């Protein structure tokens, strides 16, 4: 799939370049596209890259005239060579921020360190609780009353980097993991564009492994939703 965006034609105020990495549905990507198309946003999605040629998110990107690339992990013999190819592709767009939006790959430390401080991820749990997979079922199995999602800087430790923003949702006794996933995902779509906006405005700093917004830990970094 080839790109159709032409940076020369980008409106001048769309000045903050990002690259989004996906593997699947891309509903978070869609939320980022929708938010970046608002006139007040300075975000310029330079490219969407997927490891999965069938990712539905690629269609969302094409539909919005955003450059799409597939870097298929099956075409590479090992993780190191895949991550090196991915890095070359990403860097050709010179992003100020690399956004993992449902990118289902564990990344090498070399890759992560190359983007240190400008690589973020969204994870569907209240980190540091429930890193890894099957977060919703594990939360239900443990009888949690609250669940959520976290946008965080990526460090070599999987799902281990400092949190930028978290959203909290209730867990109901009748929930199954799909109910909970759906409730959390809706809130992911609110917090991810917000975190990207903050980053692009230079409002985030990291101090002692904590992310500060405008120089302090802000209540805006914790969002509570009662939506069912
Ligand atoms: C989201 O739940 C996100 O938290 C996780 O993967 C899922 C991606 O969903 N990392 P989508 O592809 O954005 O719809």
- pLDDT tens per residue across span 98-140: 999 999 999 999 999 999 999 999 999 999 999 999 999 999 9
Unique residue bearing structure tokens 């409106």: 11
What phi-psi label fits residue 157: left (phi over 0), alpha (psi between -120 and 50 degrees) or beta? beta
Q: List pLDDT tens digits, range 43-71.
A: 999 999 999 999 999 999 999 999 999 99
- Residue for token digits 């690629």? 58
Would the CB of 42 count as within 6 Å of ligand 1? no
Taking each continuous run of H as one helix and of E as one strand, the counts in the chain are: 6, 10
140 φ, ψ (degrees, to nearest 5) = -65, -45
What per-residue confidence (pLDDT) applies to 195? 98
Least confident interval from 11-20, 30-39, 52-61, 200-209 = 11-20
In short, whether 100's Cβ falls inside 6 Å of ligand 1 is no
| Alpha helix segments (H runs only) across the chain | 27-36, 56-63, 79-91, 109-114, 135-141, 177-200
Residue 79 scores a pLDDT above 90: yes
| 3: pLDDT strictly greater than 80 | no
Q: Ligand 1, residues 26, 51, 102, 158: which to mutate, most atoms within 8 A of Cβ?
A: 102
123 is a catalytic site residue = yes
Give 156-190 pLDDT, tens digit per residue: 999 999 999 999 999 999 999 999 999 999 999 99
Q: How would residue 11 be classed by pLDDT, with cut points 50, 70 and 90?
A: low
């Amino acid at each position: 799939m080839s790109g159709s965006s032409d940076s020369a034609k980008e409106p001048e105020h769309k000045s903050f370049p990002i690259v989004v990495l996906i593997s699947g549905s891309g509903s978070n990507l869609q939320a980022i596209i929708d938010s970046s198309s608002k006139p007040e946003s300075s975000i310029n999605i330079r490219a969407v890259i997927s490891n999965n040629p069938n990712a539905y998110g690629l269609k969302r990107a094409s539909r919005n005239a955003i450059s799409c690339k597939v870097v298929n992990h099956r075409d590479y013999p090992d993780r190191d060579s895949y991550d090196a190819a991915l890095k070359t592709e990403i860097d050709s767009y010179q992003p100020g921020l690399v956004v993992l939006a449902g990118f289902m790959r564990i990344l090498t430390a070399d890759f992560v360190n190359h983007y240190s401080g400008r690589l973020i991820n969204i994870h569907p749990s209240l980190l540091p609780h429930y890193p890894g997979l099957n977060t919703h079922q594990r939360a239900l199995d443990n009888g949690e009353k609250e669940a959520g999602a976290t946008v965080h800087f990526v460090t070599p430790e999987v799902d281990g980097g400092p949190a930028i923003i978290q959203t909290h949702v209730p867990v109901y006794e009748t929930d199954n993991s799909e109910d909970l996933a759906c409730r959390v995902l809706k809130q992911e779509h609110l917090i991810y564009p917000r975190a990207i906006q903050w980053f692009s405005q230079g409002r985030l700093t990291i101090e002692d492994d904590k992310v500060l917004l405008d120089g302090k830990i802000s209540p805006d970094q914790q969002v509570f939703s009662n939506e069912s």
